[in-house]
Amino acid sequence: MMRHVATTPFGRRTVSLGLIATQVAAKNVEQDATVDKWNIFRDIREARKLLGVSDRALTILDALLSFHRDRELTASCNLVVFPSNVELILRANGMSLTTLRRNIAVLLDCGLVIRRDSPNGKRYARKGQGGSIEQAYGFDLTPLLARADEFRQLAEIVETERKALRVIKERLTICRRDVVKLIDAGISEAVPGNWRRFRQRYDTTIAKLPRKPSRELLEAIVNDLEDLWADVHETLESFVISQNMNPNESQNGTHIQDSNPNLHSNDESEYGLGNEAEAGLSVAETDNLRTLPKRDLPLGMVLNACPEIATYALGGPIRTWRDFVAAAEEVRPHMGVSPSAWQEAVEVMGKQDAAITLAAILQRTEHIRSRGGYLRSLVEKAQDDKFSAWPMIMALLNARMSTMETTAARKTGGGADDGARSTSGGANPASIEISSALEKSLRGKGWQ
């Protein structure tokens, strides 16, 4: 005659269909089934959100498994554990009795354990001859064995989802970084394009990102960002191809001049910008540099030598060095000089000399194809104390004086010096104001 096993809870606790379903699953377990109890626990812990198990309930399940002496759960063994509430509280890290009871109910509702209550609701075991357990009342762990495959599959689903979420987050981080830096590069390098629209598209897309987004939402946002990245990258790539740019220009600051050999050998070396050896000499290395004043360049002299910078002045004419530096910072992106190249120049030369150098490059910009690369080459020379802004300004002043004299000679049929000195006006090259000593130095020391 088959012995009756308790299937209903003690006291006021009611029976639910879920409890009966759990008992049916435990009854249908294969007789030769066996599984490692800690592997089951790890799978349940991974799939706890899908199962609806709380962290505290997992703590109690961990304690219940510890009361089963064997590591393996097998259908042929008695899988009922019968610890008292006091013992469970100790192994559950001292949680309160109310919390213990509430989370035991969670384990029962999730179908992880079955309550096998005694007639009086106590948990105990009745042993037979030889000390073997004949009847036990407590918590039956058979559902863990019966649903081991289900727990394993749920854990695999959670792990797959976790990996997919990690991958999509990595894509999001990389795509956000690329889009932001490419847009900044396009703006700083003055590349033609609707950069404001690109920025608005980026801000609108990122605004959809909540604090804890789902994987589906992240995939939609990443797809939008990748489309934006493609548009931005295509804009920059098309500009680079159209300009036939050399990668070395931005990587190592190589000084690239106009490809016309006559222009390179005559015009640029004459003005002290195309010939790196002339532009980079230190004050102590040539007679020309020794004869220059050992002080800062006057603002008026720099403006006479580099009148183009005045067109970029903010809020009126340039009256102070602060105005001059602000104008240089304004013209920098239009010249294709990157922020990093400008920052390096400021750190090495100082703001004032960096602005003077940039203004001199602007004055001869039509003869210098890579303004940013040329600025970097001058910065490298300045780091080795082999560069001074004086020769560049003197060469530009001398060039303007020569143009002034030629123009005056054509108008008067001779007497270029007198015509030049009598001409005045801001737009006329004859408006250059320098001291007689400096003019004598220019004419007598080879700056012509």
Examine the pLDDT at 182 and tell me if it is beyond 50. yes
- Are 157 and 169 in contact by the 8 Å Cβ rule? The answer is no
Using CA atoms, how far apart are residues 417 and 412, in angstroms rounded to an integer? 11
State the pLDDT confidence band at 13, using cuts at 50, 70 and 90: low
Q: Which of 28-37, 222-231, 387-396 has the highest mean pLDDT?
A: 222-231
Question: Which element (helix H / strand E) includes 37?
Answer: helix 37-46
State the pLDDT confidence band at 178, using cuts at 50, 70 and 90: very high
Looking at per-residue pLDDT, the higher value among 94 and 258 belongs to 94
Examine the pLDDT at 276 and tell me if it is beyond 50. no
Looking at per-residue pLDDT, the higher value among 248 and 347 belongs to 347
Given its phi and psi angles, is residue 135 left (phi above 0), alpha (psi -120 to 50 degrees) or beta? beta
pLDDT mean over 306-329: 88
Q: What share of the chain in percent tops pLDDT 70? A: 73
Examine the pLDDT at 57 and tell me if it is beyond 80. yes
Examine the pLDDT at 427 and tell me if it is beyond 60. no
State the pLDDT confidence band at 219, using cuts at 50, 70 and 90: very high
State the pLDDT confidence band at 409, using cuts at 50, 70 and 90: confident
State the pLDDT confidence band at 294, using cuts at 50, 70 and 90: low
Q: What is the pLDDT of residue 425?
A: 36
Examine the pLDDT at 363 and tell me if it is beyond 50. yes
Q: What is the pLDDT of residue 42?
A: 94
Looking at per-residue pLDDT, the higher value among 316 and 248 belongs to 316
Structure token digits, residue 23: 């008992």
Task: Compute the mean pLDDT over every residue in the chain, rounded to the nearest whole number.
Answer: 77
Using CA atoms, how far apart are residues 176 and 277, in angstroms rounded to an integer? 44
Examine the pLDDT at 291 and tell me if it is beyond 50. no
Examine the pLDDT at 421 and tell me if it is beyond 70. no
Examine the pLDDT at 24 and tell me if it is beyond 70. no
pLDDT mean over 318-335: 90
Quote the distance between the C-alpha of residue 37 and its chain's center.
Answer: 44
In 3D space, the residue among 19, 98, 11, 12 whose CA is nearest the CA of residue 60 turns out to be 98
State the pLDDT confidence band at 263, using cuts at 50, 70 and 90: very low
Structure token digits, residue 342: 């400008």
pLDDT digits (tens, 9 = 90+) for 59-69: 999 999 999 88
pLDDT mean over 140-169: 91
Examine the pLDDT at 197 and tell me if it is beyond 60. yes
Q: What is the pLDDT of residue 12?
A: 53
| Residue 425 buriedness (CB in 10 A; 0-12 / 13-18 / 19+) | exposed
Q: What is the pLDDT of residue 275?
A: 41
| Residue 16 backbone dihedrals phi, psi, to 5 degrees | -115, 165
Q: What is the pLDDT of residue 282?
A: 35
- Three-class SS of residue 441? helix
Least confident of 33-37, 372-376, 412-416: 412-416
pLDDT mean over 424-442: 48
Amino acid, res. 229: W
Amino acid, res. 171: R
Q: What is the pLDDT of residue 430?
A: 40
- Three-class SS of residue 35? strand
- Three-class SS of residue 136? strand
Least confident of 236-245, 270-279, 302-311: 270-279
pLDDT digits (tens, 9 = 90+) for 97-118: 999 989 998 998 888 888 887 7
pLDDT mean over 152-172: 93
CB atoms within 10 A of CB 242: 9
In 3D space, the residue among 81, 46, 47, 45 whose CA is nearest the CA of residue 63 turns out to be 81
Q: What is the pLDDT of residue 171?
A: 93
Q: What share of the chain in percent tops pLDDT 90? A: 28
pLDDT mean over 305-316: 87
Q: What is the pLDDT of residue 155?
A: 94
Least confident of 12-16, 185-189, 246-250: 246-250
Q: What is the pLDDT of residue 173?
A: 94
Looking at per-residue pLDDT, the higher value among 30 and 46 belongs to 46
State the pLDDT confidence band at 397, using cuts at 50, 70 and 90: confident
Looking at per-residue pLDDT, the higher value among 423 and 204 belongs to 204
